[in-house]
Amino acid sequence: MSYSLTQQLLASDEQGYKKATQSEFLRLAGEGKASKELLGRWLANDRLYIHSYCRGLGRLLSFLRYPNTVQRGVDPGATTQLLDWIVGALVNIRREEKFFIDTAGDYGIDINLKTDEDDNVAPSTKLEGLRRWEALFASVTANEKDVLPWLEAAVIYWGTEKCYLDAWSWAKSKLSEGEDGSKDADGGAVRKEFINNWTCKEFVEFVDELGRIIDDAVAKIVEEKGEDVKEQLFKRVKGKWEDVLEAEEAFWPTV
């Protein structure tokens, strides 16, 4: 079995991962007990998270090294695969924001944070987790001195998507069977709309695809350079992974 960097990251801090993907807010949302006000506050922060997510992808796109020659039927390599994933991510995230706006409107949920006269949201108005994510996405840069200069950035994006998927999958496990959502505090928004969107098969495949791109690229480097490079690559991304877990834990509202 080939080496998996993503699996090593998941195993490196299981308690931290649990904190990042299991919170009281998620439990309440899954049980239909999160109020429209509470859910709206989180969605408002998540919508702004989307904006910083896109800006980070722009930075990542700016330093990807694309192959100058191609051959039909030959694997173009990890960089091109990552480019394809990014294009899909941008399409998905724009669709997601529209879905937020439409669904919130249908259920009478306010997803706007207070702004000043210049349409800026004060940092103090944002969740700590949003501020952390904005800083993380702003930190996306190339590691030009090493192989796979995009690795740290890819781990940030795989980490946020993996945490998001597993967090809402955990929340989904709290759903009561046979309920139609009419008695839920949010009017059924999470139960009937949001949670299925955030745990669907297509999203699972999307997250797994980025994990595969990372692991395959790392496995190739290990094959070329030897076993010692495993620890070097892990040390390169470990700090970013820890930042991801801390940001995700802080992204769920305190209740």
Q: Return the pLDDT at 68.
A: 87
CA-nearest of 240, 45, 54 to 152 is 240
Q: Return the pLDDT at 1.
A: 63
R_g (Cα) of the chain, nearest Å? 19
How far apart are the C-alpha atoms of 119 and 100, rounded to whole Å?
A: 20
CA-nearest of 7, 3, 1 to 227 is 3
Q: Return the pLDDT at 179.
A: 80
User: What is 5-66+75-251's CATH number?
Assistant: 1.20.910.10
Cβ neighbours of 229 (radius 10 Å) = 17
Q: What is the reported pTM?
A: 0.95
Q: Return the pLDDT at 144.
A: 78
Q: Return the pLDDT at 66.
A: 87
Under 8 Å CB-to-CB from 65, ≥6 apart: which residues?
79, 149
Q: Find the angle CA(42)-CA(19)-CA(132) to the nearest 5 degrees.
A: 55
How far apart are the C-alpha atoms of 105 and 115, rounded to whole Å?
A: 19
Domain positions in the chain are 5-66+75-251
- The answer to whether 137 and 48 have CB atoms below 8 angstroms apart is no
Q: What are the pLDDT tens digits along the chain (255 aa)?
A: 688 999 999 999 999 999 999 999 999 999 999 999 999 999 999 999 999 999 999 999 999 998 888 888 888 899 999 999 999 999 999 999 999 999 999 999 999 999 999 999 999 999 999 999 999 999 999 987 789 999 999 999 999 999 999 999 999 999 988 788 889 999 999 999 999 999 999 999 999 999 999 999 999 999 999 999 999 999 999 999 999 999 999 999 999
CA-nearest of 253, 103, 255 to 181 is 103
